[in-house]
Amino acid sequence: MKIDAREIKKITYDYYSCFCGADISNFEHGIQFVCTDERSLILKGFGCKYSIYILCKGDACIVAYSPKYQSYFDELTKLTDAKELITTINQTYPLKAYQLMEFVKERVFDYKDARMLKRDDYPLFETFFKKSYPSVSEIDWLKGYFEEKVDKEFFFGYINDDGLVAACDAPDMPYMDGYIQHTGIITLPEYRKKGYAKLCTALATHHHIQSGIVPQWECTLGNVASIELAKSIGYKEFAQAFIFEESRIKKTI
């Protein structure tokens, strides 16, 4: 069942409220600190803990953190400027910055040769994956992952020169699985800037909406190309997130 604009907006707010441990739709000004056990858990589909999660939207800034950082944040409650707060935290806990997008309205309606992928497309996908991730040697898991996603109708791609040249990925969602779905996109280097990514993501977005699932998009804050691509298919800037990914930090030491 097709989902409407009002429900898309509500679910988007609900989704990011899960990360913050607070209803972000009712918070418009100032800084709010939220200590939550949720920030101590490894996120499904991410393989790490978001031990510190800061969401900045307009004049509002919500800082959610694991209880083990309570004493650290007790010392920061006197700060009233969000930029100063983020700078201070980043000096101790390196934060990754993300641009969060909110879907508003479809802008692309001709998808040309982009299409939904099926199980029979696995050989094309395996070749595409090996080209996209040449450093990954173990792929025993790949076929099962691919089949799971295509059975949910989450994979879309563009085939050119008898090969898959661009594909939308659909990682597991840490919250509200079945209600909201991230749409990633990978294009082989030699086929970039030809519009294939836009066609694939637009088709994926359209299909999600028609299936009653909210499309979701986020990328690193400096990824201008990804932000502009999202805008071209119907997203707008929603908020910024600054995240301390604890488990990944530990693995690199």
**Which residues in 16-38 are b (16+ Cβ under 10 Å) and which e?**
bbbbbbbebeebeeebbbbbbeb
- Residue 177's pLDDT is 95
Q: Would you state the pLDDT for residue 28? A: 84
Other CB atoms within 10 A of residue 116 CB: 15
Supply the pTM of this predicted model. Answer: 0.93
Q: What pLDDT shows up at residue 26?
A: 87
pLDDT score of 253: 32
Please name the helix (run of DSSP H) or strand (run of DSSP E) that holds residue 10, with its range, or none. Answer: helix 5-20
Please list the rounded mean pLDDT of every run of 10 residues in the chain (253 residues). Answer: 94 98 92 97 94 96 97 95 97 98 97 97 97 96 96 96 94 95 95 97 97 97 97 98 81 36
- Over residues 7-19, the pLDDT tens digits come to 999 999 999 999 9
pLDDT tens readout for residues 66-105: 999 999 999 999 999 999 999 999 999 999 999 999 999 9
